[in-house]
Structure formats: C-alpha cells, structure tokens
Amino acid sequence: MKQEIILYHSFVVLGSLLIFIVLLHMLYRRRNPSAIIAWILSIIVIPYIAMPLYFIIGLRKRENRYKKSPILLENQDFSSPLANKNFKLYTESTEAYRVLLECIKEAKSSIYISTYIFEYDATTKEIMKALISRAKDGVEIKVLADSLGSIFLYITQYRLKELRDAGVRFEFFMPIFKMPLRNYINLRNHRKIYLFDSKIALNSGGNLSDNYLGAEYSKERWRDLLFLVEGESVKEYFELFASDWFYASREKLQPAKEQHESGDFLLHVVPSGPDTQRDVFYEMLLSNIYEAKKSISIITPYFIPNSSLMEALIIAKHKGVDIALITPKEANHTIINLARGSYIRELEENGIKIYLHVGAMLHAKAIIFDNKCVVLGSANFDNRSLFLNYEVATFVYNDKAIKEIHSWSKKLMKESTIGASDVSTLRRIFENFMRIFAPQL
C-alpha cells in the first residue's frame, strides 16, 4: 500500500513538472495566445496524452543541431520580384500530366522532383517509367518525397527498386522510422517543385497520384493548378530544392552557372516554414489584404485562419473591398469541415461572399489581390501551411496570368452553391468550440 502511494505521488509530481515545463516553454517562445489556450485545454482534459504530443507536434522553429538550415534566398523579403521570360498556367489535370511527362522526356542533364505525396498507382507508374528511361540515358535524377505524406510508398520501398537500380536517387524527407531526434512529425515538407535542366520549373499545389493528374479525364479527380516558369525565378526554386535535398541526403547540389533570360513575367518566390527566419509569407499575405483597394478572391481547400487574418479580411470588407472565398462544399477531412465552419459563417455575417464548390475536391490554392497580383503554390489558408509545414508560394505580377486565374475562378463560382449552409444550434456551438483547437490543425 505504501509503495502504491509513493508511486502515485511520484506520478503526480512528474506530471506536474512536465506541465510546468510545457507552460514555461510556451511562454519563453512567445506562442500565440490562441495556441497557448488550445494546449492548456488539452493538458487539462487529457494531460498524459497532450504533454508528450506537445513535444512531438507542438514545436516549429527549432534551435538545435538537428534543425534544418535556414533558407536564404536573395529575394526572400519584401523586395522587388524577378523577371521571367515565360509563365504558363494549366488548370486541367490531363494537361498538367502531359506537360510534366514532356518535361521529363525532354530534359537533357537533370531532373529534380520534390513532392509531399508520391503514390504508387497508374499515374505514377508512368512517371516512374519515364524517369527510369531518362536515367538510363544518363540524366541525373533526384526525387524527394515527404515520408508521412508518402507513407504507403515509404513503407513499401521495394517498389522503388527498379527506379533506384536505374540510377535514380530517391530520398524521403524526415523518415519516420529513422533519425528519431531529427524526426519532427508535425513539420512536413509540403512543397511541390519540379526542375528540369535548371531552366524550367513546374510548381503546383497538387501531388503525384491519380487524385491530382492523369492521362484520361476523371470527374472524381481533384481540381488543382500547375504552372511553368522559365527565367530568373528558376534559380530560387532550385535553392529551395537544394536546401531540402541536403537536409534529407547530406548531398550538396551545385547551381547551374548559365544566365536565365528575363521577360515580362514578374514573380516573387516566397518560402515559409521552420527553415525561414521570419514568417515572410504570412506577413506578405497580411500586407496585401490591408493594401487591397477593390477586390480579394481566395481559392483554398482548407480555410482555418488565425485571428489576425480574419480581422484583416473583415476590416478590408468594411473599407469597401469586394471579397470572395471559394472553398469545397465538403472537404476531404470531417474535422476540417467542423473547424472551418465558424470562420466561414463569421465572414458571411460580415458581408463576404462564400462559394462552396460542388463536385470533385477543390485542392487548388490561389489568391487574387485587386487584379494586380495572384498568389499560387502549395500553401493553404490555414495555420498549418502558414506556420508549420515547409511551403513555397509564388506571387505573380502579370496581367495575362491574373486574367486566366480570374476567369477560372468565375468558372468555379458557377459550379458552387452560394452562402454557408444552415446548421443546427448544437452544430454551431461545436464549430465555435473547435476554434480552440484550430491552431493545431
């Protein structure tokens, strides 16, 4: 009996000590008040689950010897965009698939691919077949996939044997079952970058699987965007890939020495994540919202903003800015539907137009400001993309590109229902309650 009492008290003391350490760490790191409240509530409700989870998923910009080195792009801040000779936008999945395969087949010296999800299915089998063929031709090929996003391929790596035997270097970012001290399970590489001969870059919000692209049209396939860049910005996509690749493989890649041609397509490549010293992408989003004079159109699959972004959008609306949000009627995760409901209803209550896209999952990410700038890339309009994942956004300043996205957004609106759906009082209460946990989603 005495031993049980000692054990019980030891358990309580240890738990109290861990709670104190977690709270002290949150205060030391100056965490957002909403994030602190979410963690405190979790610790109160499920203390012995929440505390270990905090050290697994609650940390972001880490400062130790296992941390990924900061990315230092020449143009990373609020500086002028770079000029590019070519920019092409692809809104159809079959077109995106064709362009990707063409770029693989036409590459002469190198192919570098980074993606969050790399499935093993009909689409990727064709991509892998093309990569094997080019590797046998002597083309240097490196593929980087996130180990959690590509978990099924990660645990069945025998499927990569033919690819690797052909000379393709295939690595997984933060492998789950290796390097436990470096494995931050909550900080995932969500970037999608495809580089060819250091001359052409493809960038997208989509991944490599049947869900996102394929040779034949499918009405179930998710709606997404792909864009092609030729010019000065390619070297910035290369720097991002090279930084991620070095962290995963410890191999340094040398940039191409050739000069890139400039042109009329002005692009600003902005990374975000634990390897950036500041949250520049987030700052630029806020800045553009406050500076908007006429209109803001947001296309995103996941809309779970923080209080600053919500306040900025509502203030912009009150200033007379026409704001529209286009998001899926039903997201692919039930918890997302519950977590976003409160924010969508608050926007609607303040006069912001809500379009809920019907049909295949809308996975594209695009934000148009005043028909002067459009933001594309891998980042969603949520806390995870803005503060946790490794992401890359591209600010595009070109009338032709903006008109294409604007025209596409009008098409999406026609495929949508207008306004947030009515729900029960109990559902509203639960949606509002979910705001507490939104910073962790």
What is the pLDDT, as a whole number, of residue 23? 64
pLDDT digit string, tens, across residues 406-418? 999 999 999 999 9
Q: Which two tokens stand for residue 122?
A: 């009909």
Domain stop point among 237, 264, 291: 264
Identify residue 100 by its one-letter amino acid code.
L
Higher-confidence residue: 2 or 170? 170
Report whether pLDDT(64) > 50.
no
Under the banding of pLDDT at 50, 70 and 90, the label for residue 3 is low
Domain stop point among 236, 264, 292: 264
- Same domain flag for 224 and 102: yes
Under the banding of pLDDT at 50, 70 and 90, the label for residue 360 is very high
Under the banding of pLDDT at 50, 70 and 90, the label for residue 7 is low
- Same domain flag for 286 and 380: yes
- How far CA 381 is from CA of 16, 273, 362, 391, in Å, comes to 36, 14, 13, 12
Report whether pLDDT(306) > 80.
yes
If you average pLDDT over residues 119-126, what whole number do you get?
96
Under the banding of pLDDT at 50, 70 and 90, the label for residue 130 is very high
- Same domain flag for 286 and 247: no
What is the pLDDT, as a whole number, of residue 384? 86
Query: Domain total for the chain?
Result: 3
- Same domain flag for 166 and 257: yes
Q: 133 lies in a domain?
A: yes
Higher-confidence residue: 21 or 226? 226
Across-strand partners of 142? 112, 169
CATH number, domain with residue 178 = 3.30.870.10
Q: 17 lies in a domain?
A: yes
Range name among 119-123, 167-171, 436-440 with the lowest pLDDT average: 436-440
Q: Which two tokens stand for residue 42?
A: 């979790």
What is the pLDDT, as a whole number, of residue 334? 78
Q: 274 lies in a domain?
A: no
Q: 63 lies in a domain?
A: no
C-beta of residue 371 within 8 angstroms of C-beta of residue 342: no
What whole-number distance in Å separates Cα of residue 322 and Cα of residue 316? 8
Q: Which two tokens stand for residue 318?
A: 């009150």
Task: Give me the chain's average pLDDT, please.
Answer: 86
User: Which residues, other chains included, contact 90 with Cβ-Cβ below 8 Å and sequence gap of 6+?
Assistant: 96, 99, 225, 226, 227, 228
Going by C-alpha positions, the residue among 68, 37, 88 that lies closest to residue 246 is: 68
Higher-confidence residue: 396 or 21? 396
Higher-confidence residue: 65 or 317? 317
pLDDT digit string, tens, across residues 70-81? 776 655 566 679
Report whether pLDDT(323) > 70.
yes
What whole-number percentage of the chain has pLDDT above 70? 78
What is the pLDDT, as a whole number, of residue 305? 92
What whole-number percentage of the chain has pLDDT above 90? 63
- Same domain flag for 172 and 289: no
- Same domain flag for 229 and 316: no
- Same domain flag for 260 and 294: no
pLDDT digit string, tens, across residues 83-116? 999 999 999 999 999 999 999 999 999 999 999 9
If you average pLDDT over residues 416-437, what whole number do you get?
76
What is the pLDDT, as a whole number, of residue 2? 59
Which conformational region is residue 175 in: left (phi greater than 0), alpha (psi within -120 to 50 degrees), or beta?
A: beta
- Same domain flag for 49 and 99: no
Q: 398 lies in a domain?
A: yes
Range of the domain at 107: 82-264
C-beta of residue 84 within 8 angstroms of C-beta of residue 231: yes
What is the pLDDT, as a whole number, of residue 293? 96
- Same domain flag for 352 and 430: yes
What is the pLDDT, as a whole number, of residue 177? 75
Higher-confidence residue: 52 or 298? 298
Q: 273 lies in a domain?
A: no
- Same domain flag for 166 and 291: no
C-beta of residue 193 within 8 angstroms of C-beta of residue 237: yes
pLDDT digit string, tens, across residues 150-208? 999 999 999 999 999 999 999 999 888 775 555 466 788 999 999 999 999 999 999 99
If you average pLDDT over residues 125-130, what whole number do you get?
98
Q: 75 lies in a domain?
A: no
Range name among 46-50, 165-169, 210-214, 337-341 with the lowest pLDDT average: 46-50
Report whether pLDDT(125) > 80.
yes
Domain stop point among 264, 290, 321: 264
pLDDT digit string, tens, across residues 241-293? 999 999 999 999 988 777 777 888 999 999 998 888 888 999 999 999 999 99
Q: 371 lies in a domain?
A: yes
Measured in whole angstroms, how far is the alpha carbon of residue 168 from the centre of its chain? Answer: 25
- Same domain flag for 216 and 152: yes
Report whether pLDDT(63) > 60.
no
Report whether pLDDT(315) > 90.
yes
Q: Which two tokens stand for residue 69?
A: 């080195």
- Same domain flag for 180 and 324: no
Residue with tokens 């191409």: 256
If you average pLDDT over residues 313-334, what whole number do you get?
93
pTM (two decimals): 0.85
Report whether pLDDT(65) > 50.
no
